[in-house]
A and B are shown apart, each in its own frame.
Chain A
């Protein structure tokens, strides 16, 4: 019994994937759980695993090729099956048309639709009959909606929400971070042509969808404050001296920790807007925007309020490194309740960040720089940092956001307060 290998949905929002590399090749013996290939999703590079034991046959997608979710890539047959024993014997339907069939790019013989069991990851959308009818009538693709019913069933209210929001066909739980573009994603042109068209990569497509789904429908407003970082900087230097080779604590780690603690006191800012209700989180999971080649992603530091600065520092470092290598697992970049974006390393004093829906707020962190400040009637040099809180006005009113920012400022200006 042959098992078909499909392009599987390896992230919650994946619609197609690019085959980066085949680890197994035509004729290789494979075991269930073996990595067959690496696939670039809209977020990361993921392993495509074998779902059965046998011999890999009829590999039909070449490395570098982009393949829609659900499309067949190869089959796994039992060692004794005719197809595995040699071409031209037995089952004609499966016999490759020519010796070139071993070449990865050759097209396979026409085949029937995959059996449902093997396509578990590309399972059909669950939707109520009414939702299906409404989707058909309004031309909405159900696959692009996140169902709010039991087991992810798409129901009437999901269609109504989608109709109310032009960009709502984007999954509300998709995770790419909404911060301004990362450094120089466009290659320097080496030709004399007046322009160059660069196709959108998976991650750029997702970023485009996600940002349009945020700044359009989400009513943003921004609050900025300047924080004196003198004492935080002293504390950081002292801690890093003690830590030595054990890793360094960054200003961003301190901001993440302080923000997480401030959120425990201001639950209103640790929330998700959910169309017909607001989910106030009792746990604090902070997404930290990381620029990666040709995009950005927001790995999540879970329970950041309960972690030490050292734990946050290590985790942030590890997540950022794996994000840059595109080795994050989906659970590592989804589920944040609040996000932090830092462009201080690019000497940005202050900026506004785009909210990562369904979160209600995002903190944009500028650089720590020496500035002349009036203290006790004299001008002194102090290390200062600007914070800008982007808020969803549907969840957070102006004064509510301001009070949160005030708490955060107090914590950063008096780091010992974090011990309270």
Chain B
């Protein structure tokens, strides 16, 4: 199996889908001539031409609206946001148009659109450009939300998103684009709504997604050295969420820690905790704990930024607490 970076896995998914289906096209800031702010669209303008790889002005609400209109007209647009921090400007089109039109048209007008781009913090981009938006987006009925952590999942979930007849949000990560992993060639589609057990274990379940999969796996290694066997469940899909995998894991381990990049209040982890307390109540041996970004705007200062983010150490500490070791 070839080893690719996360960015090249996304590129491969886009290229394969555009080759497969002429109604698929890409639009966004700098996606064409500049080949993408993070080079995800490298080579696509050359291969598919300016009708299918469209550079837009710096006007998120405008081009998101063009995308929704194109979807209504029967195309399958992929709209790239340079970051989800800029996509806030487009929320009206995403929430009020893309997510509502199928419902408000009585099921007559599907909106097969993908909104994608990097989400969450990178390094020292400060408060306005370091935000994790998944709980905002996953809140909305009418949207699907996926957040791949590995190159293979990035390819498989982007292909599934493009083929889905509903608006799908694909949350990528600036710090993930350069990570490498094995990626299956050709037809590799990861179904939306399926979590993935990234590491099996018996004593505690670590639930994570996107960038927190990395600290969760590191925490699991440290816990192993301390005699605690941690299972790492990568949600991959935030809406719909894979209740079955979560419940099966907690039924086995009886303890759970949920890690996420977002803030604690009304976060993705709160939704996970809701599922577990409701569906796995009799399996729980301890309250579920959460590891999140500190409940503050992201600090610019390097040390403070590190202190505010989830880390393997914080996940280990929470796991030890739910195992009653500390």
Contact = CB atoms under 8 A, between A and B. Distances in A.
Interface string A130-161: 11110000000000000011100001110000
Interface in B101-125: none
A130 B285 contact: yes
Contact of B254 (A132, A148, A156): A156
B255 to A, nearest CB: 9
B254 A130 contact: yes
A130 B324 CA distance: 14
B284 interface: yes
A157 B254 contact: no
Contacts of B324: 148-150, 155, 157
A140 to B, nearest CB: 15
A156 B254 CA distance: 9
A97 interface: no
Nearest to B277: A129
B286 interface: yes
Nearest to B287: A128
Contact of B283 (A129, A148, A155, A157): A129
B286 A155 contact: yes
A243 B150 CA distance: 81
Contacts of A128: 284-286
Contacts of A129: 281-285
Contacts of B254: 130, 156
Interface string B251-295: 000100000000000000000000000000111111000000000
A227 to B, nearest CB: 43
Interface in A95-130: 128-130
A128 B254 CA distance: 10
A357 to B, nearest CB: 21
B282 A149 contact: no
Contacts of A149: 286, 324
B106 to A, nearest CB: 44
Contacts of B282: 129-130, 132-133
Contacts of A148: 324
Contacts of B285: 128-131, 155-156
Interface string A157-183: 100000000000000000000000000
Contacts of B286: 128, 149, 155
Interface string B284-319: 111000000000000000000000000000000000
A336 to B, nearest CB: 25
B249 to A, nearest CB: 14
Contacts of A156: 254, 285
A131 B283 CA distance: 9
A150 B321 CA distance: 10
A146 B324 CA distance: 15
B22 to A, nearest CB: 55
A211 B64 CA distance: 77
A370 B284 CA distance: 64
B264 to A, nearest CB: 21
A131 B324 CA distance: 14
A334 B284 CA distance: 32
A129 B324 CA distance: 15
B253 to A, nearest CB: 10
Contacts of A157: 324
B128 to A, nearest CB: 40
Interface centre among B282, B284, B324 (most CB of A within 10 A): B324
Nearest to A128: B285
A88 B254 CA distance: 56
A130 B284 CA distance: 5
Nearest to B321: A150
B293 to A, nearest CB: 26
Interface centre among A128, A132, A133, A157 (most CB of B within 10 A): A128
Nearest to A136: B282
A133 B254 CA distance: 12
B290 to A, nearest CB: 17
A45 to B, nearest CB: 36
Contacts of B281: 129
B254 to A, nearest CB: 5
Contacts of A150: 324
Nearest to A130: B285
A150 B283 CA distance: 18
A155 B325 CA distance: 12
A132 B283 CA distance: 10
Contacts of B283: 129-130, 133
Interface string B224-258: 00000000000000000000000000000010000
A129 to B, nearest CB: 5
A148 B324 CA distance: 8
Interface centre among A148, A149, A156 (most CB of B within 10 A): A156
Nearest to A155: B285
A125 B80 CA distance: 55
A148 B326 CA distance: 12
A148 B285 CA distance: 12
B182 to A, nearest CB: 37
Contacts of B284: 128-130
A148 B282 CA distance: 19
B256 to A, nearest CB: 12
Contacts of A130: 254, 282-285
Nearest to B282: A133
Nearest to B284: A129
Contacts of A133: 282-283
A129 B283 CA distance: 7
B221 to A, nearest CB: 22
B74 to A, nearest CB: 51
A174 B195 CA distance: 48
A5 B276 CA distance: 40
A148 B323 CA distance: 11
Contacts of A132: 282
16 contacts: A128-B284, A128-B286, A129-B281, A129-B283, A129-B285, A130-B254, A130-B282, A131-B285, A133-B283, A148-B324, A155-B285, A155-B286, A155-B324, A156-B254, A156-B285, A157-B324
> Considering the complex of A and B, which 7 residue pairs feature the smallest CB-CB distances, nearest first?
A130-B285, A156-B285, A128-B285, A133-B282, A129-B284, A129-B281, A129-B282
Interface of A: 128-133, 148-150, 155-157
Given A130-B282, A148-B324, A156-B254, 7 more contacts: A130-B254, A130-B285, A132-B282, A133-B282, A149-B324, A155-B285, A157-B324
